[in-house]
Structure 1
Amino acid sequence: MSHCYQIQEKQFTVWQGYRLNNTVIVELSVEVKNINYCASKCVRSPHCNATSYNNLSKACELHRTIYSTIFITNDTDENQYLAIPKDIYTTTNFAETVQFETTEDKSLSTAQETALETSTIISQQKNWTILGVDDCYWTTSSEYSGTISYTTGGIQCQYWDTDSPHQRQYLPIDTTAHDTNYCRETNHYEGCPGCYTSDPAVNWDYCYIVKCDACNVDERLPVVPTDTTYLFHVGKFIGMVFTCDTLSPGTSVDHCPVSQCGSDDQWTTGYSVSCTDEDCYTDSTTYQGKVTCTVTGITCDFWTLKGAMPAGPDKNTNYCRDPDNTGAPWCYATDPNVVWEFCPVPKC
């Protein structure tokens, strides 16, 4: 099965010995292996219109343009490259371009080296790229065959053929991954690629990988409540989390500020927000708001049905709390495959 990270040559024009002028804004600067990786990061960034890459320093810059046309200028540094989507207009004083094959790592068809094998991803930000995730799969998560090897929390995955730092209970369904630390779904059927982590304090976590056409995110997102902003959170499910722009004096009401992209490939519609000064926390152990779901939209379980529980009247509720000083409000989840998750409660 192929996965969805291929920047095909027909999608980008690569300019060797050119630079961008000051009509662009640098959104992100990172160090990557080659121009292919640099271009792939542009595809996965919702604000990137072009990339610049230096073959010596390995510096990759993602750029956002001010104008609809990108202005590029000849540069004497032959190690400097630009990768610009072909559907973006450019203006320059030269017409010569080079192909990906002239770079250090040569053709994009070298998928094993670049991990950019698969079907074409067009330069427009479509489907899963809007979520800002690291990779995707087309059919079921058990068939994911990519090379992402870190979790949503940014922790490197433990190798599947070791018991350090965690004793393995499950192995990937994909037997070819048993000697790697790639994110995979295991024979425990978690519902999303994940891994044991290299952090002794974190046994398991999901990876930032979703279904490529999850909930048609490029065509129909949930209605955003008035005076809120949103971000996406990925676990077993994708949660579109709504956060109030401002908070007013008042008393919190029962609410779940998350629309969930569930297993039926539909966004849930029963979300709501509460925008009072009780709906944020400074000290998570004293938070008194009334959020009743996790960051991925899973309904919280009642505390009396679980081990750890808050003191006082809250023990008979399913409100997010932090009874053990974890650092942020959380709750036990009603999903049988998710023990607990943090809640969509912002800091004050």
Structure 2
Amino acid sequence: MQLRKVILLLLLFLKSGHGHSLDDYVAMQEVSLSGSSSKQIDTDSADECATKCEEETELSCRSFHYHSAKQQCVLMTENSRTAQVVNMSDVMFYEKRVANSPDHQTHSAHLCLEGKGENYRGNISMTASRLTCQNWSEQNPHNHSYSPKKHLSKALVRNYCRNPDGSSAPWCYTTDPSVRWEYCNIPSCDASDHCLKGNGENYRGFVSRTASGYTCQRWSEQAPHSHSFSPEKHPSKNLVSNYCRNPDGSSALWCYTTNPAVRWEYCLVPSCDSSDQCLNGKGENYRGYVSTTASGYTCQHWRTQSPHSHNFSPEKHPSINLVSNYCRNPDGSSALWCYTTNPAQRWEYCLVPSCDSSDQCLKGKGENYRGYVSTTASGYTCQHWRAQSPHGHEFSPEKHPSINLVSNYCRNPDGSSALWCYTTNPAVRWEYCLVPSCDSSDQCLKGKGENYRGYVSTTASGYTCQHWRAQSPHGHEFSPEKHPSINLVSNYCRNPDGSSALWCYTTNPAVRWEYCLVPSCDSSDQCLKGKGENYRGYVSTTASGYTCQHWRAQSPHGHEFSPEKHPSINLVSNYCRNPDGSSALWCYTTNPAVRWEYCLVPSCDSSDQCLKGKGENYRGYVSTTMSGYTCQNWRAQSPHKHDFSPEKHPSINLVGNFCRNPDGEKAPWCYTTDPAVRWEYCIIPSC
């Protein structure tokens, strides 16, 4: 920033009372006024230009435009209601808000779709089929009459999607010579019309495939299927592109298909009410997409009669939602089912996640578990309960229908101490299974971890743990047989001897054992508090993106902070730590030219990740300006030289190329990587 600007800001701060902000102005991109009395001045920002407009005494300033590349401000006596609007490249036009007028309200609505989008002013420039839009000021490849100069009020800027003619949605001419124009996908201001409510008559989302996977035919086309539902005849139905719609009050969303043999078909659209996507009761109202049976058979399409003929066609039962080959319960059975594509297996029940997730995790001994874990604690694949090989047994689904012995999922049919299954290993008849507990407190670290039952199986330095059952490469006494109560399963980290932390023997012959890193049940040590001396998280890159050097390593930088010398500081792997009471977390880097650097770790107090006041305490990661320019790294002096280096201002957190407010500006800002634009404000989500 120039010295003149800093002095000006100081004077503005010292002036009495009321400041001026761009919030008091309505902004429009790449337009200005023609014939208005004006005054040109040089300023460093649009915000400063607004201040000049308020302070102007020679003329009555009602609007201005700001040219960021030239740092030029033009004050004007007119606004868009009293003077002609003209296109002007590379400027932003601002006019004073009029109280109680529509423009006095927030302009965020103009960036999403309301109604037919006639007031849309966003910068989407691609059609629904991902074709690039043609510039409105150009006549190639498509000649047209919608030039920006002829239609000043339509904001026909660059090649942005607009609705200048009252169509059913924003559109544009395309740069594809074979496609004159096409509708655009604009996010709705009301997200509720992008999911299924009722029969979908108000759906405005972008699903364009049918339940059987056919691509939808465009509503504006008459091939391969001719029809009467053209966008022109039914402008209120939002028949854009080839999106699924319900223009005729059918029982569900549908479209004509691009398959000449299939005129139309219903579409599957996620419901606004997710309760029909999981299992409630017997599943009669289930409308989800599971299409395989409990034994893994693919379901037969309800529309087909092969390999199994049946009476449950979608035509005969339109209210049951027999779409595609999805599991349904059309006859009040005890569970969801389908016909299978296996000629030898007419039908079978399906496994669908319950709306009540309590049967998907371990409670007590697991007798009510209905989840899908199908491997044992040692990693053996479970044998199907229906199979009698390699192990014969009595627990078949037919003999025990109430126990839910489906597929090869771990179950507890006999009241054992835990879930188990027969294995596909002929040498191992059965084994217990590891299933996540409904009480997650044993899946994270409490105290020294003696009750930990989770699945971490690598050490802090990245070594793979040796199986507790194995005696190689390291012989030991902690076998599962000798210590059955300690849960020494597979090669998972445990604390069988009351050590200070979880550990395991390693598969590296040179490293007998090592501690493990397990997420704490108290997440407060995984984020930044104060200077980070108690941080135990896993960030391992510096603020400038350098990879951290392992604390155990002495290359490329020799140092005294080894894990052996400082066991209490948790110097594990190459994770950022603060072992010496510095002002922030840091690490030695793997770059020989950079000995050490501070790290960026998310704060436990998220209030510094959003905008408070002018953003002087903002520490978040936004790195693009309000116009979309990429920010220049604060450490860099190109393309723009400046005084705000991290070295000169260590307390301001000038890290990476993240937006900051080091000089008391109106909002966070940054220098840009565009040589023509020295700096610009950033848009930061407000707290």
Q: Comparing both structures, which one devotes a greater share of its residues to strand?
A: 1
TM-score, length-scaled by structure 1: 0.36
TM-score, length-scaled by structure 2: 0.21
Whose relative contact order is higher, 1 or 2, with alpha carbons under 8 Å and at least 6 apart? 1
